[in-house]
């Protein structure tokens, strides 16, 4: 689903986007953090991720645009609530907020004096750095006061000596003091009262800031709750298997961290993945697989799409609405190109999406002339008198034999698969 009502204005170097005639907070489904926004500047659509939606007419981007645009057009790829794409969107948003938190922590703990912190809404606040706060508490307890306490402790502790100690401590530490020395340790730690006041609050909007947060259990799993335990997310470490994952409690799905080198995958998405022409697994439906002669295969969700070879290296896809809108293969990544043993793409692809969604695909030979001769992509065009002649770099050719082109498409709302889903829902 695409939302593009109204127009927007951006300023170079600012992450704030202003809308005119927009209803980002009132749309159904809502425009939410983690969604992809395309902003038109000239003839180019630039992709940005939404960090926060401040109102119907203001949102914040995760990155600052490098251009200014006034009353320009845009589009936002909406995710349907309660499905896997929306869960992935929420995880991306949560990860971005964590990154913002860590960046602000680094600034607050590493700089001197007053620092300026940028909030997810795009607004800034000024705070005294941790080094400035440390400077404020230095000298609260000087050497003489410590000596007075030690001298009082050397004699028998009567009522008066205890009162003297209490008075000495009270003079040096007010009710808001949170640091105290422990034993002979030279490091300072948070006092028990301060720990209780700060960490034991059940209902508080105050933020807990720390360089490291540890959740460790000696015998069981370690869990950090993000939001409500039933509706939010869990960050979990499973002690028995030594694996970690993020769990969406509302959808009851989990995203496991890679055990070895690899990428994240939702368990529920694995049945929907296919291997492309290069053997890599990618999210599947709706896929149209195009063979060199123009024959084609569709997946369950792309049923109804048609392909016709209209000439050498020219293929026409009808019954679609261009590339899939969820951007799972990248902003302009609706095509998976075959590669050789060295991972080099065998062809160039030129595409054109028509106004009705039909898509033209053209393929051209890719020679890789910058490589040594033995590693270039030599493809025989014809043999004359026993001598082979080869295609030139950029010459239009069919898809290489024994390979195919995977195209991930957007199907119409009344496609065969969509109609079947509506019947099942009834």
Q: What's the average model confidence in pLDDT over 238-264?
A: 71
- How confident is the model at residue 259, as a pLDDT? 62
Confidence of residue 350 (pLDDT cuts 50, 70, 90): very high
Distance CA 241, CA 22 (A): 48
Structure tokens at 334: 């609706």
| Range of lowest pLDDT (32-46, 77-91, 184-198, 223-237) | 184-198
- How confident is the model at residue 153, as a pLDDT? 63
pLDDT tens digits, 94-124: 777 677 677 777 777 777 777 777 776 666 7
Q: 128 Cβ partners below 8 Å, 6+ apart?
A: 113, 114, 115, 136
- 70 pLDDT above the threshold of 90: yes
- 359 pLDDT above the threshold of 90: yes
Closest CA to 1 of 73, 83, 62, 75: 75
| Range of lowest pLDDT (161-170, 360-369, 371-380, 394-403) | 161-170
Higher pLDDT, 197 or 326: 326
- How confident is the model at residue 281, as a pLDDT? 47
Could you tell me which CATH number the domain at 2-81 has? 2.40.30
- How confident is the model at residue 10, as a pLDDT? 94
Q: 42 Cβ partners below 8 Å, 6+ apart?
A: none
Q: Contact, 277 vs 290, CB < 8 A?
A: no
SS3 351: strand
- 206 pLDDT above the threshold of 70: no
Percent of the chain with pLDDT over 70: 73
Distance CA 65, CA 138 (A): 43
Confidence of residue 245 (pLDDT cuts 50, 70, 90): confident
- 183 pLDDT above the threshold of 50: no
- How confident is the model at residue 327, as a pLDDT? 66
Closest CA to 353 of 320, 331, 329, 328: 320
Higher pLDDT, 139 or 5: 5
Higher pLDDT, 81 or 40: 40
Q: What's the average model confidence in pLDDT over 317-332?
A: 76
pLDDT tens digits, 122-150: 667 787 777 777 777 776 656 566 677 66
- How confident is the model at residue 323, as a pLDDT? 85
Show contacts of 325-331: CB within 8 Å, 24+ apart: 325/1, 325/2, 325/77, 325/410, 326/77, 326/79, 326/85, 327/36, 327/77, 328/85, 328/282, 328/283, 328/408, 329/282, 329/283, 329/408, 331/36, 331/38, 331/47
The chain-wide mean pLDDT, for the chain, equals 78
Percent of the chain with pLDDT over 90: 32
DSSP class of residue 396 equals B
- How confident is the model at residue 423, as a pLDDT? 87
- How confident is the model at residue 177, as a pLDDT? 47
- How confident is the model at residue 146, as a pLDDT? 64
Confidence of residue 198 (pLDDT cuts 50, 70, 90): low
- 169 pLDDT above the threshold of 80: no
Confidence of residue 258 (pLDDT cuts 50, 70, 90): low
In 121-252, DSSP assigns E strands to 124-128, 179-181, 188-190, 222-226, 233-238, 243-248
Q: Domains of the chain: which residue ranges?
A: 2-81, 88-135, 222-262, 268-425
């Amino acid at each position: 689903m695409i939302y593009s009502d109204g127009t927007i204005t951006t300023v170079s170097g600012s992450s704030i986007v202003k809308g005119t005639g927009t209803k980002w907070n009132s749309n159904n489904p809502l425009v939410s953090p983690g969604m992809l926004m395309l902003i038109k500047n000239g003839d180019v659509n630039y992709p940005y991720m939404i960090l926060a939606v401040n109102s119907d007419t203001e949102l914040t981007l995760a990155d600052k645009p490098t251009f200014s645009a006034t009353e320009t057009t845009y589009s936002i790829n909406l995710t349907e609530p309660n499905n896997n794409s929306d869960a992935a969107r929420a995880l991306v948003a949560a990860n971005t907020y964590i990154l913002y938190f860590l960046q602000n922590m680094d600034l607050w703990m590493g700089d001197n004096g007053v620092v300026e912190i940028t909030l997810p809404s795009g607004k800034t606040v000024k705070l005294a750095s941790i080094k400035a706060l440390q400077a404020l508490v230095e000298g609260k307890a000087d050497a003489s006061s410590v000596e007075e306490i030690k001298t009082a402790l050397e004699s028998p502790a009567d009522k008066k000596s205890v009162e003297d100690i209490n008075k000495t401590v009270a003079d040096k530490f007010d009710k808001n003091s949170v640091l105290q020395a422990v034993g002979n340790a030279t490091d300072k730690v948070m006092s028990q009262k301060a720990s209780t006041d700060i960490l034991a609050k059940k209902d508080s909007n105050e933020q807990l800031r720390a360089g490291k947060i540890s959740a460790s259990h000696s015998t069981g799993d370690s869990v950090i709750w993000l939001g409500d335990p039933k509706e939010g997310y869990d960050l979990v470490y499973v002690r028995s298997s030594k694996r970690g994952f993020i769990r969406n409690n509302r959808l009851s799905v989990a995203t496991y961290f890679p055990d070895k080198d690899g990428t994240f995958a939702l368990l529920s998405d694995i049945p929907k993945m296919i291997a492309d022409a290069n053997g890599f697994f990618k999210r599947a439906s709706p896929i149209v697989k195009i063979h060199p002669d123009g024959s084609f295969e569709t997946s369950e969700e792309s049923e109804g799409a048609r392909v016709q070879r209209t000439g050498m290296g020219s293929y026409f896809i009808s019954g679609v609405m261009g590339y899939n809108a969820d951007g799972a293969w990248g902003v302009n990544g609706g095509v998976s190109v075959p590669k050789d043993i060295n991972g080099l793409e065998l062809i160039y692809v030129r595409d054109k999406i028509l106004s009705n969604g039909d898509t033209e695909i053209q393929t051209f030979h890719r020679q890789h002339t910058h490589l040594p001769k033995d590693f270039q992509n030599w493809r025989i065009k014809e043999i004359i008198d026993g001598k082979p002649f080869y295609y030139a770099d950029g010459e239009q050719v069919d898809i290489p034999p024994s390979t195919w082109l995977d195209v991930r498409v957007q199907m119409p709302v009344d496609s065969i698969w969509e109609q079947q889903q509506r019947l099942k829902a009834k």
